[in-house]
Amino acid sequence: MADSWEKLLEECNSCNACELCKTRTNCVFGVGNKNADILFVGEAPGDNEDKTGTPFVGRAGQLLNKFLFAVDISREDVYIANILKCRPPKNRDPLPEEEDACIDFLRRQVKLIDPKIIVCLGRISAMRLIKPDFKITAEHGKWFKKGNFLITAVYHPALLLRDPRRKEDMLADMKAIKAQLDKMNKDSQ
């Protein structure tokens, strides 16, 4: 039977495939336009996200909103999810076995959304979705073709909070994403 959003969310909320289910407050499934042209994928929920059940609502999410606004992409027009749907303790990096336990939820979300562009938010997402040896400093903003999707990676907004010097690179990458989307939409008319 084909997936539905309701079925997928129900499975995610009741998932106990890894130990993170024992410490979560909320499953952080994803949010946004279910027919989005752009899917943003982070690594895992943080504390604010665990409390609210919504991805990218803390300081990093607020910064992401500013970049979206700066390039005229509405947050309401995109979908935002993470590889992990549960918060790792103390916001540590996801463990490979946690990613393995959770990645199928993201794959099924991608299938339901069918975006034109997937944007990895940070190194960990890019290493999982683009290639295992992805180097964010050297390869951010580069485009890759994966199946039916164009995929790229940008710096994680949380990194930009710690290292504001990289904000110019982020803005350039976001402008390129907007230009690519505009081109794809124009080509499909």
Instruction: Classify residue 126 as exposed, middle or buried by CB count within 10 Å of its CB (0-12, 13-18, 19+).
Output: buried
* Domain assignments of the chain as residue spans, ordered by start: 18-187
The CB density around residue 80, as the number of other CB atoms within 10 Å, is 25
Q: Which CATH superfamily is domain 18-187 in?
A: Uracil-DNA glycosylase-like domain (3.40.470.10)
Averaged pLDDT, groups of 10, the chain, 189 residues long: 85 95 95 97 96 95 98 97 96 94 97 97 97 97 95 97 97 98 90
Predicted local distance difference test score (pLDDT) of residue 57: 95
Predicted local distance difference test score (pLDDT) of residue 3: 79
Predicted local distance difference test score (pLDDT) of residue 2: 62
Nearest to 29 by CA among 72, 84, 71, 95: 84
What length does the chain have?
A: 189
Q: How far, CA to CA in Å, does 112 sit from each of 8, 69, 87, 149? A: 10, 26, 24, 13
Predicted local distance difference test score (pLDDT) of residue 75: 95
